Amino acid sequence: MLFAGALTTTYPQTEDPVYFRYSPDSGWSFGNDQFRARFQMEPTGAFRWLDLADPTGIILWQGSASEPSSPIDLRIDNTFINATTPLRLVRQFRRTVRSPGRGYAIVFHDLADQFELQLNFEIFPGHPVLHHQLRVRNLRGNRVFFRANDVLPYHPQIDDVEYRVFRVNQWSVLGAGRNFEPLTTTLSQTSQRVTMITGAGGQQCTWLAIDRPDHVGLFAGWEFDGRADASILRTETTLDLSVRVFGLMHPVDPDAWYEAPASFIGVHLGDWDEAGFRTQRFAEAALAPPSPDKNFPYIAWDSWGYETRIDEKTLRREADLAAEAGAELFIVDLGWALRMGDWREDPNKFPSSLRAFSDYVHSKGMKFGLHYVISEAMADSQVLQEHPEWACSTTYNYHGARSLALQHRPVQDWVIREGVRIIREYNVDWILQDGQTMVKQCTNTGLSYDPRDWNYSGDFALKRILREIQAQTPHTVWENCANGGNMMTFSMVRNYVTSITNDASGSLGSRQGLFGASFPFPPRYTDRYMPASAMTPYNTRSFMFGGPWILMNRLTDLSSAEFDFLRSEVEVYKSLRPSIASGKVLHLSARPLAGRTDAIQSYNHARDEAIAFVTRDNSNSDFYRLRFRNLRPQQSYLVTFESSPRSFTMTGSQLMSNGVGVNLPEREFGEIIYARPIAP
């Protein structure tokens, strides 16, 4: 039952049709020119998933009839509603969603009319991805508790072949060997299982991909910042996918709604890079906020090179040099305020006021960024002195602060007021939102949430805070930093323009973080902080590929030669970032490690342009054979190097098969290689 599908490998078009079709006999068929998804109601009234197919109808992944599955899978008190539950179709209608996507809703009642279930679907032109979210209204006359919810319950049929499951770790401030390592597990026997712990402070990103021998693959992601436990279990006849909200115990009053975390599932033809590319393009089209402007991702400077020992005089000198070096964003990190929780500038550090310094940064042609910790406060801060009950039952030890019970509605209201005030008072363009484990285990009693429901309520609280502040200050954009890249979720993608990956982990660590994070997430969601480092091609080019490049060097300590080199590297970064931002990431080598050479490439289909970074990390060889990927075989390309005057004219076929030699003259060295099309 291996299906030789006709899924196209062409790149998404801009005007492809999207359709939602229904008939009582055949059920629902949703799709576009890339794929088709089908669902139906059984004679019993149960609603189940049938299959995912290519645009011509050739089935790629088929749902199991003996073990049916459905996007509806939850427990309410002691009532289970899933793919075997009889339902009554109430109505269906088209929904307005983010353009150019199209939405459709199907509404069911259970047969006892205790619950209304609204299943919202979204499809976007050119993307082989089905996005869905479940909303449930309590029609009972009493409060109920939602006690379990699987947001990705799919059981595709399988054959007697091997299936591979791919996922990516998050980063951990505690080390534990976690820096976006890609993980591949082969499922060849019944009862083999892959498990994942995702969300804030979890172990893996909220994404997975599955491959089979004919390379018709499946990928999926979910939008939840709290903890969700994912698994892929091989049974005798199926792969059972599951993503369950951890510890769900959410109270819902009569006539109120439960909002399940959204998720998406898609199909791809090819390797893990193709699964990642399909995911990334969908995320940009359907989830991510638009880029702030044409210059994004920015070159930025951040004050953490001084840690909290900052003052207005020092920062003005750094701002002068940052602007001269070509920086577009200047970020004042932790240490500007009186203390965490008392979010007003320290007058000893900013005698002219922080607003005056913000105006100075703007006068230099840069955007002004500010570090803000929404989830922490010092024990002696005014807010915790007045409201000691707002301290979370678990403290996460972020720079000595107490964690706040964000699940409590008054805490959210206070954070929203403070966030809006800070942005307006200091004229902030960019918020570096930091903290430790943004969805915290807070089991306080006597507050506005059920302490058993801290996980779901914490996710909701974070979303509400971001939504409310951003609605009131729409011109300010937010960067995610959960004390490093340990909240890598597709909910994060919705709420931030970028995210830190690994936190100031040096040149090798930067490339390692990029390597893994650039599978599930668009390149702009891989920003990297460059700590104090020598100005060499090895160091600077370890931070260029992907999202914002954020310098933490003390620019005042650089020699004139070092500063000139930095300025020239900044110009290189600005020249290549538009191509990489919308390009396909191709992992040309194994994961970067000390003692070997690593390579990564971007291919921009619209430009027909490839950019590759090759980095020698103390390896013995001063030569690397670079074989580009995804070029047009018959097209002629001009190949140039950033650090070498050599150039070649070669066809795409030659560049992909024979490749081009890259000279790496030093044990730590980075080279950039370009392949640009030559007009006929």
Q: Is 285's pLDDT higher than 50?
A: yes
CATH of domain 19-286: 2.70.98.60
pTM of the prediction? Answer: 0.95
Q: Which of 174, 179, 173 has its CA nearest to residue 507?
A: 179
Higher pLDDT among residues 17 and 23, named by residue: 23
Question: How confident is the model over 502-544, as pLDDT tens digits?
Answer: 887 899 999 999 999 999 999 999 999 999 999 999 999 999 9
| pLDDT of 1 | 31
For every residue of 4-32, DSSP letters joined together read: ------SPPPSS---EEEEETTTEEEEE-
Would you state the structure tokens that stand for residue 655, as one six-digit string?
């560049």
Q: Does residue 92 register a pLDDT over 90? A: yes
Alpha helices for 200-325 (secondary structure H): 272-286, 312-325
Residue 16 pLDDT: 52
pLDDT of 4 reads 33
Over residues 291-305, mean pLDDT: 97
Mean pLDDT of the chain: 95
155 has pLDDT over 50: yes
For residues 528 and 507, give the distance between their C-alpha atoms in angstroms, rounded to a whole number.
10
What lies within 8 Å, CB to CB, of 73 at 6+ separation is 81, 82, 83, 149, 150, 153
Please enumerate, as own/partner, the contacts of 234-237 that have beta carbons within 8 Å and a separation of 24 or more: 234/158, 234/163, 234/187, 234/188, 234/189, 234/190, 234/191, 234/192, 234/193, 235/67, 235/190, 235/191, 236/190, 237/64, 237/66, 237/67, 237/157, 237/158
| Beta-bridge partner residues of 170 | none
Per-residue pLDDT band for 8 (boundaries 50, 70, 90) equals very low
Can you list the alpha helix ranges (DSSP code H) found in 287-434? 312-325, 354-363, 382-386, 409-426
In 3D, which of 63, 65, 85 has the Cα closest to residue 74? 85
Backbone angles phi, psi at 200, to 5 degrees: -60, 120
The CATH H-level (homologous superfamily) assignment of domain 585-677 is Golgi alpha-mannosidase II (2.60.40.1180)
What whole-number distance in Å separates Cα of residue 6 and Cα of residue 463?
Answer: 39
Instruction: Return d(Cα 508, Cα 514) in angstroms, integer.
Output: 10
Q: Domain locations in the chain?
A: 19-286, 299-500, 585-677
240 forms beta bridges with 233
What pLDDT is stored for residue 3 in this prediction? Answer: 32
Residue 17's pLDDT band (cuts 50, 70, 90): confident
Q: Do residues 507 and 543 lie in contact, with contact meaning Cβ atoms separated by under 8 Å?
A: yes
Q: Poorest-confidence range of 4-18, 78-92, 393-407, 459-473?
A: 4-18
pLDDT, one tens digit per residue, over 622-662 is 999 999 999 999 999 999 999 999 999 999 999 999 999 99
Would you tell me which CATH number, out of the four given (3.10.20.90, 3.40.1160.10, 3.20.20.70, 3.50.50.60), belongs to the domain 299-500? 3.20.20.70
Q: Does residue 456 carry a pLDDT above 90?
A: yes
Note the pLDDT tens digit of each residue in 582-638: 999 999 999 999 999 999 999 999 999 999 999 999 999 999 999 999 999 999 999
pLDDT, tens digit, for every residue of 330-357?
999 999 999 999 999 999 999 999 999 9
- Return the percentage of the chain with pLDDT > 90, whole number: 95
Look at strands 299-302 and 329-332 and give their pairing: parallel
369 pLDDT exceeds 70? yes
Evaluate whether 19-286 and 585-677 have a shared fold: no
Band (296; pLDDT cuts 50, 70, 90): very high
Q: Residue 37: count other Cβ atoms within 10 Å of its Cβ.
A: 23
Q: Residue 66: pLDDT above 50? A: yes
Give just the sign of the alpha carbon dihedral 662, 663, 667, 673. Answer: negative
**Strand-pair partners of 300:** 329, 550
Q: Dihedral (C-alpha) 543, 514, 465, 302: value to the nearest 10 degrees? A: -10
The predicted-structure confidence for 220-274, as pLDDT tens digits, reads as follows 999 999 999 999 999 999 999 999 999 999 999 999 999 999 999 999 999 999 9
Strand partners of residue 120? 105, 133
